Amino acid sequence: MKVAVVGATGLVGTKMLQILAERNFPVTELLPVASEKSVGKEVEYKGKKYKVVSMTDAIAAKPAVALFSAGGSTSLEWAPKFAAAGITVIDNSSAWRMDPTKKLVVPELNADVLTREDKIIANPNCSTIQMVVALNPLHKKYQVKRIVVSTYQSVTGTGVKAVTQLLNERKGVQGEMAYKYPIDLNAIPQIDSFLDNGYTKEEMKMVNETKKIMRDDTIRVTATTVRIPVMGGHSEAINVEFGKDFDLADVKSLLSHAPGVVLVDDPAAQQYPMPKDAHEKDEVFVGRLRRDETQPNTLNMWVVSDNLRKGAATNAVQIAEYLVEKGLL
């Protein structure tokens, strides 16, 4: 199968190449694609070097699928051109997520919405993905009514520039700033730009995407998203109110058997999920499960996942795997 990776030289694009190799996706020909200034550079895949090609050359080569991780404006411009050539695009940007004509997919939850006609498929926001993977098995049984979520997000979610800023600050080196403020020994309660309602775009992505993926517009979500000096993955403190009461032992059982979820919840042994343990893993790790004692039918939980893997690249590759398995490519 001919596969294009658009944005192949970026953090997520590089991770996509790694995961395609790790999962033995049936790539017969690889087309790494990037901006004009990167054309001719080389990327490595399964021990071989591949030259980066332009968007137009990639379209002319007619891959079956193109994994996009090149930013929203690039996706808005180029994804329709790929789709018009009959190429299935799986897009990691925010460009298409809330478009009512496009599917927003987390394979563990809603891959069944996909058809052969879906030529642009949206990959959700990283912080949304891990939250809905953890909540879905509980939603099926207890009916999620309201979610209050605070995130503690890795600098890798911003990109290479932010990783460099953090490492420079650790070394006491002056350098280019990805953020307005220092990130080392700090927490920045702003991810993306502010909207008129006082929330950031990242916070509203979690609100809107959750409803679309879980196919339930009645779910109420309120979010605060924070950037912290971590590189392993994103963490989330989630307070979730259900329509029905729950049994804590049953909650643990549901989560321990849920696809893509690993339960790490042993307070007596001080065992709980941490970003360093989720780093380079594809699962969503859940722990600190406890009943909210201030109101009925409400659970507190702590959810951690590698934002470059399940939060981005792995989810996109899993969508492609589903399309192959169902003969939709």
The string of DSSP letters for 100-159 reads: TTSEE--HHHHGGG--TT--EEEPPPHHHHHHHHHHHHHHHHH-EEEEEEEEEE-GGGT-
| Catalytic annotation, residues | 126, 234
Helix 248-256 / helix 126-142 crossing angle, nearest 10 deg: 130
Six-digit token string for 262? 């690993």
CA distance 36 to 53: 8
By three-state DSSP, how is residue 207 classified?
helix
Q: Which amino acid is it at 119? A: K
Q: Are 99 and 75 in contact (CB under 8 A)?
A: no
In Å, how far are 98, 105, 114, 121, 226 from 202, measured between CA atoms? 13, 18, 25, 20, 10
Q: What is the largest CA-CA distance in the chain?
A: 60
How many residues are given for the chain? 329
